[in-house]
Amino acid sequence: MTHCLLFDSDGTLVDSEAINNEALEDELRLHDIDEDKAALLARYRGWQFKPMLEDLGQLHCKTLGQEFESTFRARASEYFEERLEPIPNIHAALNDLPQAKCVASNAPMKKLCQVLAKTRLCGFFNDNLFSAYDISRWKPDPELFNHAARQMGFEATKCIVIEDSDVGVQAAISAGMKCVHYVPDGMISKFLENSGVLGITDMSELPAAVRKLELRR
């Protein structure tokens, strides 16, 4: 077990992206902002929440502040409890990966704990959870991954990041870490020209991808 695995959460461990953006669409509608959840997902996948709100506010000439974030997160939390599921085949993949594991996410710790508990994934990571909110550095800044690696006791070259978002893959590359890019829609990852990145379309492929990256220098 020479490597540490750093997992993103939303869209990588838990199938939360569509639900999250449905909650955002519904909350925006209360502020007379018409945005489609699919378009929101395509535009803002992996973004830090505050810059996303600022961008939406500029697009629609609205001010979306702390009160909006609080009511949105309450709505999203309710939706997660109703119907959040793990990413298909992630439990089996994690069971087949004996390496040290942690989660490094742009999400707040409260949300991170909720979604992992809801999808019965907590046992794979225990207390090895790292939120960008705790260090005030968000992907694509690589510091969240660097911080997680230090806390786990691994050098960057001995870390493999598992990500679904472009900003997350960019952060992994900037941190000097290898990366598995999960692209479930079947599109080819645009990062594959980087020798440290492997693309997969199903989590059943993850253990083999990790083993392949462990062999790369």
d(CA 69, CA 13): 23
CA dihedral 31, 47, 138, 149 (to 10 degrees): 140
Q: Are 142 and 167 in contact (CB under 8 A)?
A: no
214's tokens: 């462990």
Q: Identify the sign of the CA torsion 31, 78, 8, 205.
A: negative
**15 labelled catalytic:** no
Calculate Rg over the CA atoms of the chain.
17
| Residues labelled as active-site residues | 8
